[in-house]
Structure 1
Amino acid sequence: MDNETPPTDSYERQLTEKITRLKTMMGIFRAPEAEIHPSPARHYRMRAEFRVWHEDQDLYHIMFDPTTKQRIRVDDFTAGSKLINELMRAMMAKLRSAPLLRDKLFQLDYLTTLSGEAVITLIYHRPLDEEWRAAAAALRDDLRAQGFRVDLIGRAAKTKICLDRDYVDERLPVAGRELVYRQVENSFTQPNAAVNIHMLEWALSVTDGAQGDLLELYCGNGNFSLALACHFDRVLATEIAKPSVEAALHNIAVNHIDNVQVIRMSAEEFTQAMRGDRDFNRLKDVDLAGYRCETVFVDPPRSGLDDETVRMVQAYPRILYISCNPESLCRNLAALTKTHRIERLALFDQFPYTPHMECGVLLNAHDNPSRS
């Protein structure tokens, strides 16, 4: 893997290609000019996963070329945070002289933060025991002696050994304030912290002056909920993954936010509840009728919104849509633009040097005066 800084013109060229592609895709919806939020050209990924390759008495990180499937040795990872690169070198130096920790080690996952915390997960093709725990604790202590604020986790089939913590606490500067986010190992987190800050601040800018309450689907660990809470009377947020819900509740508490309520249910289930198709025990203490939501926020998976949820969100005057897949976004916009118009469009370059694009769209109902 090339460990040199990518040429500046290479980054600018790939970003220009994305801008052109997005403009073409959004042309049929009469979208305004996209607001562009670039990424740092290097050291932008806060998490990374590597296979471990064993060769005689040596071992090293590898990745596979997505096209040729060829194995690529990775000693330095330009895309990864500086902390990931430092930990990669430190881990290899320690593991080469630790046979018990090396034995059938299959993968290393790194999760880091701008605030300097890290969790490393060691994944094995063999059972883990107390002897492994003791060796891993010694490795952790060695890393901490070098100045790393790091925790280690061991994973194998049906086994997870957590020495201390299985999370990091990220601290992001957002619009002049610091927000604390607990990020749990093996759960979704935004990979590009710098661009995530851009996304949060853009979402704040497009909801400035918003009225009433906010309905948020797919809230994750509360990434957007915490930032947007100050612009709404109340936030009602849904998320299906239990670790993410637990992290969101922690994040709400640690940031001293008192107007966000998180419900553990999928967007599809919430749509069924709103239509009265099903009763859910999880909603027995939630006064849905008491919420006055004029804005709905969605950040769905790559598949986008299902048809029923599309119809449900069309009932709201304002729709804020963050998408990690412009193709599914366009499919949803084909329906959404029948009732709403696009007021703001943004491109967030979460994944430089790849074809992936993250987009933000603010839609306002045709019969609703624009406040953007």
Structure 2
Amino acid sequence: MLCQVFPEQYQSQLAEKTQRLQDLIPSLHHLTVFASEPRHYRARAEFRIWHEGDETDYIMFDQETKQKVNIKQCPMAIESIADLMPKLMAEITANEVLRLRLFQVDFLATLSGDMLVTLIYRCGIEGNQAWLDSANRLKTTLPITHIIGRARKQKILLEQDFIIEKLHVDGKIFTYQQIENSFTQPNAGVAQKMLHWARKVSKGAAGDLIELYCGNGNFSIALSEFYNRVLATEISKTSVKSALFNIAANQVENVTVVKMAAEEISQALQGQEFTRLKEVDLASYHFETIFVDPPRSGLDNLTRKMVAEFERIIYISCNPETLAIDLIEIEKTHDIVESALFDQFPYTHHIESGVFLKRKAV
């Protein structure tokens, strides 16, 4: 999309997505559509850098033509990033130490005001005091909370590699660590709406919750008040560490995170023993609800079968095609009660959706 936005087309593109989702999954009931802001919605942006003579510019490559396109403005990015971009480029262009062999600039921002900028180089910067002094001056000159300098096998932190987001949902504030180079929801405004919907369908829940693919604990933490206990699983070591940070930051006491793949937790529930669960009394949990937010490939056969064994299912999907395939099997035992479309990625074909199911009445 090369940073463009088309506010006058926003509603029509959202209507097209809604129709496409309903055509793909005709059984969706009570579909709620959560719109994005039509401009300034992305809290994460990455740009290649192009040098030509005395000029340096942000660029992106057109996916169809493969041609580079200079980016002077990015109304797709949240305002803090959009405002910072030209100011940062002016500083880089005027400082040969910062400019020399700069290859890429990444921005990671939060609604709560933090800004992390990563400068990626084709040459080494470790031990370069001139670069370090220049980068530190950027932080005093511009509204940047933290800077990371990267080069091959080098990573310099000024002063840390994460920022703190505060999401406002249902009159509550949830605090989340967002680590550079790790997954974060790019559209923070819509992320708040996703948490609102998941909390809504969790009201009145009984028993415990098990969550697969929990990431940094984004949903686990926001849903914890509706369940007696939450067991959250995640395979990424970095995400598990971040989830533990976020659980402590939000003072949540009923969430346990374990580093396990979805297939492994399925085997554990069937009685197979795992060392990583030695401190978890799995038999003491009374799971009635399962929450899944799988990758684009959807659920594997084993996990899909496991999911169908729970009374209630909350399924967040980033790929409606694989969601439709998974629901063919899940709807044999469960009915769709509520569904949602979250427009995380305006002006693209991507659809993020949510489905809440309950076991069929006998």
Please report the TM-score for the alignment, with normalisation by the length of structure 2: 0.96
Compute the displacement of 1:45 (Å): 0.4
Match of 2:282 in 1: 288
What's 1:320 paired with? 314
Pairwise CA distance, 1:274? 2.0
Structure 1 unmatched runs, 5+: none
SS at match of 1:319: strand
Match of 1:143 among 128, 139, 142: 139
Give the match for residue 20 of structure 2. 21
Name the residue aligned to 1:220. 215
Name the counterpart of 2:356: 362
Distance 1:4 1:17, change over 3 A: closer
Mapping 1:206-245, distance limit 5 Å = 206-245=201-240
Check conservation: 1:116, 1:149, Cα contact below 8 A. no
Residue 189 and residue 219 in structure 1: after superposition, are their counterparts in 2 closer, same or farther (change >3 A)? same
Structure 1 Cα separation of the partners of residues 214 and 133 of structure 2: 34
Aligned residues: 362
Aligned-partner Cα distance in 2 for 1:64–1:321: 34
Contact 1:110/1:119 (8 A) holds in 2: yes
C-alpha distance after superposition, 1:83-118 (max 9, x if no partner): 111221122111112222222211111100001101
The whole-number CA distance in structure 2 between the counterparts of 1:86 and 1:150 is: 15
CA distance in 1 between partners of 2:314 and 2:183 (Å): 20
Preserved contact between residue 125 and residue 131 of structure 2 (Cα < 8 Å): no
Which consecutive segments of 4 or more residues in structure 1 shift more than 4 A? 1-5
Which residue pairs with 1:254 in the alignment?
A: 249
Q: Distance in 1 between matches of 2:46 and 2:161?
A: 16
Partner in structure 1 of residue 301 of structure 2: 307
Aligned to 2:88: 91
Question: Cα offset for 1:65?
Answer: 1.5
Cα drift, residue 134 of structure 1? 4.5
Instruction: Give the Cα–Cα distance (whole angstroms) in 2 for the partners of residues 3 and 285 of structure 1.
Output: 48
| Partner Cα distance (1:7, 1:310) in 2 | 39
Question: 8 Å contact 1:136–1:152 — kept in the other structure?
Answer: no
Cα distance in structure 1, aligned partners of 2:130 and 2:235: 35
- Whether the 8 Å CA contact 2:124–2:151 is kept in 1: the answer is yes
SS of the equivalent of 1:130 reads coil
Q: Does 1:205 align with 2:204?
A: no
* Partner-residue secondary structure (3-state), 2:321: helix
Match of residue 103, structure 1, among 94, 100, 103: 100
What TM-score comes out, normalization by structure 1 length? 0.93
2:340 maps to 346
Distance 2:133 2:320 in 1: 44
Q: Which moved more, 1:234-243 or 1:39-48?
A: 234-243
**One-letter code of the match for 2:310?**
Y
Which shifted more, 205-214 or 80-89?
80-89
Matched, 1:153 2:148: yes
Change (3 A) 1:137 1:332: farther
Call closer, same or farther: CA 1:224–1:126 in 2, change over 3 Å.
Answer: same
Q: Percent identity?
A: 49
RMSD in angstroms over aligned alpha carbons?
A: 1.6
